[in-house]
Amino acid sequence: MRYWRAEIGRLLIDYFEQDNRRIEHAFRVLHHADRLMVDYPGCDEEIVIAAALLHDIGIKLSETELGYQDGATQEEYGPAVAGELLAAIEFPAEKTEIVKNIIGNHHSPSRYDYPELELLKAADLIVNRDEKV
């Protein structure tokens, strides 16, 4: 059995290094995604975990390459980074494709009918609302 929360959480922490705000944001989103999963029938738990922890992973490369980041550039840069990180731990390839699609669509109108995408958007919304206070 694999401990995906721990393994992907470790990838996230290693990748974001000292950027604790982003690391904590991802764990908060995972917490709410775990909690709300019961309301989104048909979700694959492994996809939910990977998408929640890595949904904003494109921020760092966007900032390095462009000097800024926003929803659109997160969607642009995130999928490839997530794909590389997940390949390194042999996360199931067919699930990685879905995780990448979710990351590439989490700030724009849904182009996929994945329940995991709607769940991630709901969890991210809750956390973003909390963090604005």
Query: In the complex with Fe ion, which residue's Cβ is closer, 90 or 102?
Result: 102
Query: In the complex with Fe ion, which residue's Cβ is closer, 54 or 98?
Result: 54
Provide the residue type at 23 as one letter: I
Residue 16, phi-psi category: left (phi > 0), alpha (psi -120 to 50), beta (remainder)? alpha
CB of 16 to Fe ion, least distance (A): 13
**Residues at the interface with Fe ion (CB under 5 A):** 56, 124
Among all residues, whose Cβ is closest to Fe ion?
124
CB of 123 to Fe ion, least distance (A): 9
Task: Work out the angle between the directed axes of helices 71-88 and 93-103 (0-180°, nearest 10).
Answer: 160
CB of 56 to Fe ion, least distance (A): 5
Q: What are the b/e assignments for 24-39, b being 16+ CB within 10 Å?
A: ebbebbbebbbebbee
66 token code pair: 């462009």
Query: In the complex with Fe ion, which residue's Cβ is closer, 75 or 124?
Result: 124
Query: In the complex with Fe ion, which residue's Cβ is closer, 43 or 120?
Result: 120
Q: Which of 88, 11, 89 has the alpha carbon at shortest distance from 53? A: 11
CB of 32 to Fe ion, least distance (A): 11
